[in-house]
């Protein structure tokens, strides 16, 4: 299992606003994951769905989140471009950081690679994933033996070290 996890690619998906065409956040994210199939990205497995309070805390609606294990022949930068293309096709307009949104797709881990990306390039692993329950909990469902590529910490240790106050619940 460990060697399989190191070769895996994981993306995070989240939303907390309804989409005018797809409706509720979960339906929008399911449609977005299907759309990736037209962009050389195959969904291999999807974690259970979670509801989570906004991070950082705000008066926004709660998010719906999942993590997907994907397969692709794209490079990390190519996959990031595909994720951004899906977001754009679904009407995502980037405004301020942590704004409410109808779609958010993040490249979390690309086969354990480590990269500090410039704008438009992959930053691996995702720089904030280790402190986010809404990422780690669904990732642990898919890869309970996953280790952080930079620190080597196991996901169970990362979950125990999460900052307090992050409300995340399996749906």
CATH number at residue 90: 3.30.70.560
Radius of gyration of the chain (CA): 15
How close are the terminal C-alpha atoms of the chain, in Å? 26
pTM: 0.94
Q: Which of 39, 27, 109, 35 minimizes the C-alpha distance to 67? A: 109
Q: Tell me which residue range forms the domain holding 25.
A: 2-170
CA distances to 30, 105, 107, 134 from 84, rounded to whole Å, are: 16, 7, 10, 20
**What is the number of domains present in the chain?**
1
pLDDT at 147 over 70: yes
Q: Which residue bears the tokens 């704008």? A: 119
**Confidence bin at 1 (pLDDT 50/70/90):** very low
Backbone angles phi, psi at 58, to 5 degrees: -155, 180
Average pLDDT over residues 154-162: 97
Average pLDDT over residues 79-92: 95
CA distances to 36, 37, 52, 113 from 64, rounded to whole Å, are: 19, 21, 6, 27
CB 147 within 8 A of CB 155: yes
Distance, in Å, from the CA atom of 125 to the CA atom of 115, rounded to the nearest integer, reads 7
Contacts of 81 (CB under 8 A, 6+ apart): 120
Beta strands in 8-160 (DSSP E): 9-15, 41-46, 50-52, 63-72, 104-110
State the pLDDT at residue 3.
43
């Amino acid at each position: 299992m460990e060697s399989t996890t190191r070769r895996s690619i994981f993306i995070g998906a989240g939303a907390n606003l309804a989409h005018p065409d797809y409706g509720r956040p979960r339906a929008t994210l399911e449609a977005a994951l299907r759309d990736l199939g037209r962009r050389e990205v195959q969904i291999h497995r999807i974690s259970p769905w979670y509801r989570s309070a906004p991070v950082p805390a705000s008066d926004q609606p709660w998010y719906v989140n999942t993590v997907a294990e994907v397969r692709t022949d794209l490079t990390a930068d190519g996959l990031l471009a595909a994720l951004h293309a899906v977001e754009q096709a679904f009407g995502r307009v980037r405004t301020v950081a942590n704004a409410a949104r109808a779609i958010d797709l993040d490249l979390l881990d690309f086969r354990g690679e480590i990269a500090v990306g410039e704008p438009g390039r992959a930053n691996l692993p995702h720089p904030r994933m280790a402190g986010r329950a809404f990422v780690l909990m669904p990732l642990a469902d898919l890869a309970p033996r996953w280790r952080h590529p930079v620190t080597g910490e196991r996901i169970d240790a990362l979950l125990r070290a999460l900052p307090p106050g992050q409300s995340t619940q399996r749906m």
